[in-house]
Amino acid sequence: MNILAIGAHFDDVELGCGGALAKHARLGDDVYVYVATMSGFANHNNQTIRTNEAALNEARRAMQELGVKELICGKFETLAVEFVDALNVEIVRIVEEKGIDLVYSHWIGDIHHDHQAVAKASLHSCRHVPRLLMYRSNWYHSTFDFRGNFYVDISSLWEVKEKAIRAHASEMERTGEKWINFFKNEAENAGQRIGVKYAELFEVVKYLAP
């Protein structure tokens, strides 16, 4: 099976579906990751927090941890992604060239501007892909409810996911242990609902049974 995970920034797929991607890779599936932005950014005082080069290098290490076959990098600017045809075309091209069977992408209710634009583009551009699941990659409130209804057991792969997250050293320096603590707690809670140690939770857009 050919898997595509779509993220706005380097680190999004690691946080949202890193365990599922590692599981696919270990089951012999071909896993591709497309990230729309170069992912460098500055704060409100225009101080550089993360350079594009550092973000890319960290992402490459994270992809190795997960077992991703290919990282495909977009050239959009961080915090400036829009639901435009240029983005749609990039995703459609990947879907067609790689023969994608299953897509993981941002939740459409995410309040982050870039995440929401990429989610819309994924829904549009992956309309012919038989399976599409949406993930959450931050902890911010939204006016919409995330209707998690699809679980993936990642009990044996939490450490792999954590290593992939920690590969983003520049972001770990900025956030400390907040990312790890939050997403580990989420995985524990999701796992408890289905009787396993750790799980990732997704909202199904569509899922055509094989």
Cα maximum dimension of the chain: 51
Say what the pLDDT of residue 118 is. Answer: 98
Say what the pLDDT of residue 38 is. Answer: 87
Say what the pLDDT of residue 210 is. Answer: 77
pTM of the predicted structure, to 2 decimals: 0.95
| 2-207: CATH class | alpha beta
Main-chain dihedrals φ then ψ at residue 114, nearest 5 degrees = -65, -40
Asked if 154 and 161 touch (Cβ cutoff 8 Å), the reply is yes
Averaged over successive runs of 10 residues, the pLDDT of the chain (210 residues) comes to: 97 97 98 91 68 91 98 92 96 98 98 96 98 96 95 98 95 86 97 98 94
First to last CA, the chain: 11
Domain residue ranges in the chain: 2-207
Task: Give 9-41 pLDDT, tens digit per residue.
Answer: 999 999 999 999 999 999 999 999 999 998 776
What would the two tokens of residue 75 be?
């050239």
Task: Give 109-124 pLDDT, tens digit per residue.
Answer: 999 999 999 999 999 9
Say what the pLDDT of residue 84 is. Answer: 96
Say what the pLDDT of residue 45 is. Answer: 67
What does the alpha-carbon distance between residue 60 and residue 148 come to, in Å, rounded to a whole number?
29
Asked if 162 and 19 touch (Cβ cutoff 8 Å), the reply is no
Query: Could you tell me which residues are beta bridge partners of residue 31?
Result: 3
Closest CA to 160 of 70, 66, 69, 71: 66
Say what the pLDDT of residue 128 is. Answer: 97
Asked if 183 and 139 touch (Cβ cutoff 8 Å), the reply is no
Say what the pLDDT of residue 52 is. Answer: 85
Say what the pLDDT of residue 34 is. Answer: 98
Asked if 22 and 31 touch (Cβ cutoff 8 Å), the reply is no
Say what the pLDDT of residue 50 is. Answer: 79
Say what the pLDDT of residue 209 is. Answer: 87
